[in-house]
Structure 1
């Protein structure tokens, strides 16, 4: 019988890329743009895998890229305004939802004015305390455009959600898609590459088939509620710890995510 001589990861690559390819087709990303992104990703991975600075020739050898591509890609700036805007918006939401000075007596995010007043600090103070290197007006515009913050006739600002979930398929939504998916893939990749006996990231899923639409809806609802509670609790704790650790100049990072994929029509791939 014929055997598959491909490495396991190479055999799995098409399935791993299929959801990404669906997003690419929907957003008009062609193979040329995808190839450029892959080149940049390979170069970044090669540089991160080496303890010393890689020469252009060594990077070319590890990745298969032409040395001219290596030199060109090393001079690209991938820190887009949309990515910075999404990060800033998420931090503002986190502080607004969890910081005592921005909460009312019941513990909910209170309505803010731009400059603050007798009730406490305002939105501009919030941006400053969240240590965001962007103009408060720029951050506010993002939140208003995404219907995350509502402004009343008197200028008061009200937080409508505790999560940054941009809508409309625009640049902010793509940036959020990137941030969420890339972190999950990094956690899984570190597990894949971990040495035997090494500590591994928590990355597990529950999967069931042969369920009715009613059962799937019940599972989705309960999962939504419990996952949201966990994320809000960790968010509040992480903000407090970060405020304390910031004085010591620490730069460590932590990420926790959750995903739910209901499929009443049974079309999703389950890998089994």
Structure 2
């Protein structure tokens, strides 16, 4: 497992690293994103315009007072010409919108997995009949507790089409996944793609810049694993992650149920716990085979 970077004396570094030290890590972390953009047909001029505008926006956010956000200062910080900065600053920033299907779907699955009314004694999601008398668990009660804007039948039909649920012999809905997993390429999946990678990168960059306390960012990683061992590690990881996420979700839901409604204006925080698993074939190296070891 890897911890946040430290100096030889064991104390967090002060401030971000120098620009030249970032070039190689940036090249590596951008490669998967660039590969996706190329396959999607996103050309360099379009991407360059996006990055140029974002560079100016983020640089402006780094300046504490509005009076100090002059075109000259932003040009010095970013290397973008003042005429370009003037044009870019006149463009309204895009407000990120959360697709309704994301909010609704994630809340429904979280409640089905985490609330005692929809789980059995061992914490597993109950099979839910389409309808039931008031006070008894049902798919209709699950949906109605989250939204009145869409019929439970429409949600069930959509989830059946996605494979999130199936119907058993008694016409009860059986949850097939331990999380709301959108279909590939949909608006919902792209929302999670941006949010989760943003949060992971935000945590990692804060740690590199010496955040205190450091954000949680650790990994167990091996090189040179034989295929059977790699397959077993993947299976162990998936099972452990499912247990962790279900447990955290269940406890937070219970805390919220026992928490009184806060007064208007009470400060709140956004918390995102994300975990990833990635594996790929290694390029054969011209060296003697070595026993795989964990890397810290």
What is the TM-score with the length of structure 1 in the denominator?
0.77
1:260 partnered with 2:273: no
Shift of 1:80: 5.2
More helix by share: 1
Q: Number of matched residues? A: 259
Matched residues in 2 for 1:32 and 1:246: separation? Answer: 51
Matched residues in 1 for 2:33 and 2:276: separation? Answer: 16
Shift of 1:89: 1.4
DSSP 3-state at the match of 1:157: strand
Structure 2 residues not aligned, in runs of 5+: 1-17, 285-294
DSSP 3-state at the match of 1:232: helix
Matched residues in 2 for 1:88 and 1:99: separation? Answer: 16
1:215 partnered with 2:233: no
Matched residues in 2 for 1:127 and 1:44: separation? Answer: 40
Deviations 1:237-266 (A, max 9, x none): 122223344612552122212122222444
DSSP 3-state at the match of 2:174: strand
What is the aligned-residue RMSD (CA, Å)?
3.5
1:66 partnered with 2:85: yes
Matched residues in 2 for 1:46 and 1:125: separation? Answer: 48
| 2:127–2:174 Cα contact (<8 Å) kept | yes
Shift of 1:108: 2.6
Q: Following superposition of structure 1 onto structure 2, how do residues 178-257 of structure 1 map, counting pairs within 5 Å?
A: 178-194=194-210, 198-245=212-259, 247-248=261-262, 249=266, 251-257=268-274
Q: Following superposition of structure 1 onto structure 2, how do residues 9-158 of structure 1 map, counting pairs within 5 Å?
A: 9-53=22-66, 57=70, 60-61=74-75, 62-63=77-78, 64=80, 66-74=85-93, 76-79=94-97, 81=99, 84-104=100-120, 107-112=123-128, 116-118=132-134, 120=136, 122-123=138-139, 125-127=141-143, 129-130=145-146, 135=150, 143-150=159-166, 156-158=172-174
Matched residues in 2 for 1:182 and 1:142: separation? Answer: 28
Matched residues in 2 for 1:141 and 1:39: separation? Answer: 43
| 2:127–2:173 Cα contact (<8 Å) kept | yes
Cα distance change, pair 150–43 in 1 and its aligned pair in 2 (3 A):
farther
Matched residues in 1 for 2:196 and 2:74: separation? Answer: 30
| 1:112–1:122 Cα contact (<8 Å) kept | yes
Q: Which has the larger radius of gyration?
A: 2
What is the TM-score with the length of structure 2 in the denominator?
0.71
Structure 1 residues not aligned, in runs of 5+: none
Matched residues in 2 for 1:110 and 1:190: separation? Answer: 41
Cα distance change, pair 162–79 in 1 and its aligned pair in 2 (3 A):
same
